[in-house]
Amino acid sequence: MTLAVDKLLRPMMVIAAALLAGACDLRRSAVLDPKGPIALAERDLLFDAFFVMMLVVVPVIVLTLAFAWRYRASNTKAAYAPKWAESLRLDAFVWLVPAVIVIAVAVLVWRSTHKLDPYRPIDAAVPPLEVQVVAQDWKWLFIYPDQGIAVVNQLAFPSGRPVSLRITSDTVMNSFYVPQLAGQIYAMAGMQTRLQLLADQPGKFVGRNSMYSGGGFSDQFFEVLSLGPADFDVWVAKARQAPAKLDAPTYTALTAKSRLHPITYYSAVEPRLFDSIIAKYTHAHHAPAAGTPVGAAPRR
């Protein structure tokens, strides 16, 4: 008996220790170490959902152990009454407790869905920094329309200032994700999604594609820099001094598949490049029907 218990307890102790060590390593658990208000709200939502689930899980585990102990074969004092018609107390417990939990989760999800809408602008005293994001194989392109620059695999912005991202893909579906700053949102060819970011303080973070997109998926990371206002101006000036310019031929070459693409700066960008990337996947849907004069209004 002692040997059997020892064989059972040892694996359980190893698993518990591994889970505890993993939970304590916040450097690897980026979701649990938020650096902005959006990521903080999402972490709190994760905790709230976890505690609501524990309202079901913990009583079930406790009652399972209690029933197993009370009605064990050696306990001759436990009453065994398998024949009964109904129990109002049991019916109330079975129906009311889950109903209360479902209502609580529904309210939580409803409020959080509107509060954490990725399209909802962040309230701030300063206007957001506009950045256009393009997913490629297997890298990320960031275009700064107001600054007239573009960067591959590096996203920089001033800390304390909201960042409004317009996101699309020039390949298969990707998923843009910076765990310490905001939730993930999909990047799809011919479509545009939006995401709002805000970092409370300067720092360096890691972003990635969180959806499998082919052989180079595991290397599709990008650097995220939250800089002070003066440092951000220096970063923009550095990009503007880069010899490369992101014109149409250069962009075509950039779309070729590549792994671990180095951070690359472009001092100028082809006008309306982001819109043209979306349009090249949607023009077929808007092409005039056969026999329709050029310039005629499309039929609806």
Please state, in angstroms and rounded to a whole number, the distance separating the CA atoms of residues 122 and 130.
13
Report pLDDT digits (tens) over 171-208.
Answer: 999 999 999 999 899 999 999 999 999 999 999 999 99
- Residue 236 reports pLDDT greater than 90: yes
Q: Is the pTM of this model over 0.95?
A: no
**What local confidence, expressed as pLDDT, does residue 300 receive?**
31
Instruction: Quote the mean pLDDT of the chain.
Output: 84
